Structure 1
Amino acid sequence: MKDPLSELIEFLRIPSVSANPENAGDVARAAEWLAERLRRAGFTVEVAPTAGHPIVYAERLAGGDRPTVLIYGHYDVQPPEPLELWETPPFEPTIKDGKIYARGASDDKGQLFAHVAAAAELAGETPVNLKFVIEGEEEVGSPNLVAFVEENRERLRADAVLISDSPMFAPGLPTLTYGLRGLTYMEVRLRGLGRDVHSGAYGGAVPNAAHAAAWLISRLKDEMGWVRIPGFYDDVEPLSPQEREMWRRLPFDEDEYRREVGAGDTSGEPGYTILERRWARPTFDVNGIGSGYQGEGSKTVIPATAFFKFSMRLVPNQDPDKIADLTESYLRRILPAGYQMEVVRYHGGYPVLVPTDSPPMQAAAAALSQAWGRETVFTREGGSIPIVHDFMRVLGAPVVLMGFGLESDNLHAPNEKLDLINFEKGIEASKNFMRLLPEYLEGGQ
């Protein structure tokens, strides 16, 4: 049997880009590659077809008296473009300075495969029943996963759901994530004219779609970072003093944070720290905007159309559909005269808050601490993993978010990487969790 790193390198070589139809064969090949590795580890495996890319389901049952762990991950990856910014080819894994560079190294092949390797190494032991659900469409919004979970809820029953698709707070600092922000993603399309017209002949007399887009954006969020949509904050759950103090003790360097992203200064709601803004406050951010002439030099036209896309990150108690309704209603109320507007709703997801005192979370904290030799910290995460809410809703099982990556891993960007020590410790922590969970569930800790 090959060592885990050699197998990870094989896995990373497969360009399983779910968003690109030209890579459909590669996505299917990645699913079969995983299925074969799990079969070798003693699992019964099904590669379940969907309307899109297949879902790999695997189980290795130790017995009815053993607790069950369901492990979720995804084998698809983001497109590698822009290719010219990669220092090494994205699908030729390269080890340099204790890190492995490749698309999917951290998101999510490396983190997922730590659990596959741990399960293989525990093949001679039977501490828990193990199940895997591994999808190939996470990077395109998981359009078929929820239906699979709902249709297979009895087969997927578990005492804990283990997911590794999140970062550690700092290098060498074992971390459990207990909160995720939700998401509402929308687009506004505006039309003021039947066609672009000359700015001299028509300027001052006809609607300008670019002006309308800019004006609407300015009415959605003010200069201090406060979202101006009526009712937006009505259901926001406030931070507890205990959480604020716990986060204050984390090793966070604001100057380093600014340097990392190339920001001259930070911004956001007054009265909140950067971590509080990132993890526990809702947001509105324009993600894309377009209108008018975009080429070299000048072209004196008044644009007929404009668009802007925006995401709103949500916190506990906020409902993504309600927020979308409030936003669309407000936009239609403030739309200037003379414009047609189309509001498009894309994907969304509910925020998640996981109890930190559940037996699976406490077992995971002990497992990480044993692997790293340091006390585990608890953090929230600013991003969204919509399936976490669905696992909790459909299966009623506690979710454990045990991340092995880092914020600096360049997820979705060129030169994605994973520290090899995190991969090795991830395998160790996964094995620890499987061994410790029965004790914690029985109340032994």
Structure 2
Amino acid sequence: MSPSPGTQPGTLTGTLERVDASIDDALSRLFALLRIPSVSAQPEHAADCAAAARYLRDELLACGFDASIRDTPGHPMVVAHDLGATTGPHVLFYGHYDVQPVDPLALWKTAPFEPTLITTESGRVEITARGASDDKGQVMTFIEACRALRAQTGALPVRVSIILEGEEESGSDNLRPFLEQHREELRADIALICDTGMIAPDQPAITGSLRGLVGEEVTIEAARRDLHSGLYGNAARNPIECLCTILGTVRDADGRVTLPGFYDGIAVPPDGQRAAWRAIDPDDNGLLGPVGLAVPAGEAGFTALEQTWCRPSFEINGISGGYEGEGFKTVLPARATAKVSFRLVPGQDPERIRAAFRAHVNAALPSDCRARFTPHGGSKGIALPPDGPFMDAALGALSAEWAPNRAVVIGGGGSIPVVSDLREVLGMDTLLIGFALDDDRIHAPNEKYDLASFHKGIRAWVRVLDALAS
């Protein structure tokens, strides 16, 4: 590929101009990927996951990478390398090509696997499709940036390796074993992940911390069968009542988790960081207002952002038992079940927290009741070095793209387990740079990705890779 007329080969400006001139072609390539229904959790879409892997391999080959498909016991990995650069760091980009199921289909305004451009009343143009934001649109911002850099300059400014997973939305069962098996091939100086978001459409961010996760299912059983509440009410234990009572004691009136040792080893962010976060959302309305809430419900003394970005939590995600159908039925259920989760911060051990929760439940069980537990995954919280050279370079590059608005370092309330895997298996920290917005409706009907997020995301990666090279 030769440089476009009117651009200066080898310059950052020329590469950015190339991105602008070729955005329609980039969008067409994204649309082709979005049309593949690569739902990893549903066996009937296994062939579609394989098709998405082949599509990405072929696109990476077209961009000059040495790319291949690697089989796993589940869906395949796509691995690619361009190691021609002789200066700067070696970066490993991670993303995933699989998507969530589309249910409930009836709530979609357009076909979920027929990407559509929709102009909103505010004038924003949105790419609507399953996977548009999570994570196909974000993955393609990086690939298109590499395409533009190679087309403009003949080479990438840094050594780049890429791994694209097909099971992120269904548990990533094969990711860590794959990293362990290919440790030497995949080890780099820094990992890059584009699966996070911005503060606002005009303010980019790097996510500097992520909370870990403990998922647990607890079932309390009492009588051998469901009982008539008129014949047995008062005399027989009610597992739903017992479950609610016990779960209600895991947090106190000030929002603190009551498990012994729960807060051991964790730190409050420094005053400067807290002040910067207060400037982002000074009255809690930025986080809570758009969803119809006003008052932070977690630990007293922390803002809404702090409660989600840097403090651990306990949440009840679902509870069931007894009669849940239409109408009314007077019954004492034989069992009741709750699905709960703990979000963890650096310093907390997932298995220690799981054990403490189980001990709390067992200690509070009344007579005639038994508890069963089913684990649903666990990962540690991650905090990235705030002052490393990679962070500074990336912040400067993002700030240049969104000038005069400056990029900021934020916390992440969710969990991305691959970040822990990359640190523990490959010994690498990660820069979490994403261009999603809070209203992208990921995992929900009518998922979207702003066209501006896609376009400026490509430009931003060009700037980041250029900045890392120097």
- Shorter-normalised TM-score: what interval? over 0.9
TM-aligned CA deviation for residue 342 of structure 1: 0.6
Instruction: Name the CA distance, whole Å, in 2 between partners of 1:381 and 1:406.
Output: 13
Instruction: Name the CA distance, whole Å, in 1 between partners of 2:188 and 2:283.
Output: 39
Cα deviation digits, residues 33-65 of structure 1 (max 9, x gap)? 111111111111121111111111111121455
Equivalent residue, structure 2, for 1:233: 263
Q: Aligned pair 1:33/2:55, yes or no?
A: yes
TM-aligned CA deviation for residue 208 of structure 1: 1.2
Q: Aligned pair 1:293/2:313, yes or no?
A: no
Cα deviation digits, residues 126-169 of structure 1 (max 9, x gap)? 31111101101111121110111111111112121110101101
- 1:347 aligned counterpart, secondary structure: strand
TM-aligned CA deviation for residue 396 of structure 1: 2.1
Equivalent residue, structure 2, for 1:46: 68
The residue type equivalent to 2:452 in the other structure is: I
Equivalent residue, structure 2, for 1:370: 400
Check whether the contact 2:204–2:402 (CA below 8 A) recurs between aligned residues: yes
Distance 1:367 1:256, change over 3 A: closer
TM-aligned CA deviation for residue 174 of structure 1: 1.4
Worse-superposed segment, 1-10 or 162-171: 1-10
Worse-superposed segment, 201-210 or 129-138: 201-210
Instruction: Name the CA distance, whole Å, in 2 between partners of 1:225 and 1:90.
Output: 39
Equivalent residue, structure 1, for 2:128: 101
Equivalent residue, structure 1, for 2:110: 88
Instruction: Name the CA distance, whole Å, in 2 between partners of 1:166 and 1:44.
Output: 27
Q: Aligned pair 1:394/2:416, yes or no?
A: no
Worse-superposed segment, 382-391 or 84-93: 84-93
Cα deviation digits, residues 307-360 of structure 1 (max 9, x gap)? 000110011111111111111122111111111211111111111100121111
Equivalent residue, structure 2, for 1:21: 43
Distance 1:243 1:66, change over 3 A: closer
TM-aligned CA deviation for residue 203 of structure 1: 1.4
- 1:287 aligned counterpart, secondary structure: strand
- 1:110 aligned counterpart, secondary structure: helix
Q: 1:218 aligns with which of 242, 248, 270?
A: 248
Q: 2:352 aligns with which of 307, 319, 322?
A: 322
Equivalent residue, structure 1, for 2:333: 303
The residue type equivalent to 1:206 in the other structure is: A
Task: Give me the identity figure in percent.
Answer: 45
Check whether the contact 2:87–2:158 (CA below 8 A) recurs between aligned residues: no
- 2:439 aligned counterpart, secondary structure: helix
Worse-superposed segment, 278-287 or 327-336: 327-336
- 1:219 aligned counterpart, secondary structure: coil
Check whether the contact 1:190–1:209 (CA below 8 A) recurs between aligned residues: yes
The residue type equivalent to 2:468 in the other structure is: L
- 1:36 aligned counterpart, secondary structure: helix
Cα deviation digits, residues 62-120 of structure 1 (max 9, x gap)? 14555311100000111111112222121111111211111111111111110011111
Q: Aligned pair 1:135/2:135, yes or no?
A: no
Instruction: Name the CA distance, whole Å, in 2 between partners of 1:366 and 1:258.
Output: 30
Distance 1:199 1:264, change over 3 A: farther
Please list every run of at least 4 consecutive aligned residues from structure 1 whose deviation after the TM superposition is greater than 4 angstroms: 63-66
Instruction: Name the CA distance, whole Å, in 1 between partners of 2:385 and 2:317.
Output: 32
Alignment gaps of 5+ in structure 2: 1-21, 120-124
Q: Aligned pair 1:68/2:106, yes or no?
A: no
The CA RMSD over aligned residues, in Å, is 1.5
Instruction: Name the CA distance, whole Å, in 1 between partners of 2:42 and 2:156.
Output: 40
Q: 1:383 aligns with which of 414, 418, 422?
A: 414
TM-aligned CA deviation for residue 253 of structure 1: 5.8
Alignment gaps of 5+ in structure 1: 440-445
Worse-superposed segment, 172-181 or 246-255: 246-255
Return the TM-score normalized by structure 1. 0.95
Instruction: Name the CA distance, whole Å, in 2 between partners of 1:264 and 1:20.
Output: 38
Q: Aligned pair 1:345/2:375, yes or no?
A: yes
Cα deviation digits, residues 195-234 of structure 1 (max 9, x gap)? 1111111112212111111111112123432212121112
Q: Aligned pair 1:207/2:237, yes or no?
A: yes
Q: 1:163 aligns with which of 179, 193, 202?
A: 193
Instruction: Name the CA distance, whole Å, in 1 between partners of 2:327 and 2:168.
Output: 41
Worse-superposed segment, 44-53 or 244-253: 244-253
Query: How do 1:131-280 residues align onto structure 2 when only pairs under 5 Å count?
Result: 131-251=161-281, 254-263=284-293, 265-280=295-310
Q: 1:117 aligns with which of 115, 135, 144?
A: 144
The residue type equivalent to 1:336 in the other structure is: P
Cα deviation digits, residues 272-320 of structure 1 (max 9, x gap)? 1111111011000001110000111111111001100011001111111
Q: Aligned pair 1:55/2:82, yes or no?
A: no
Equivalent residue, structure 2, for 1:415: 446
Cα deviation digits, residues 172-206 of structure 1 (max 9, x gap)? 10111100011111010111111111111111221
Check whether the contact 1:358–1:398 (CA below 8 A) recurs between aligned residues: no
TM-aligned CA deviation for residue 435 of structure 1: 1.4
The residue type equivalent to 1:159 in the other structure is: D
Return the TM-score normalized by structure 2. 0.90
The residue type equivalent to 2:347 in the other structure is: N
Equivalent residue, structure 2, for 1:5: 27
Instruction: Name the CA distance, whole Å, in 2 between partners of 1:279 and 1:259.
Output: 17
Instruction: Name the CA distance, whole Å, in 1 between partners of 2:281 and 2:402.
Output: 17
Equivalent residue, structure 2, for 1:431: 462
Check whether the contact 1:360–1:398 (CA below 8 A) recurs between aligned residues: no
- 2:200 aligned counterpart, secondary structure: coil
The residue type equivalent to 2:425 in the other structure is: V
* Count of residues paired in the alignment: 439
The residue type equivalent to 1:99 in the other structure is: E
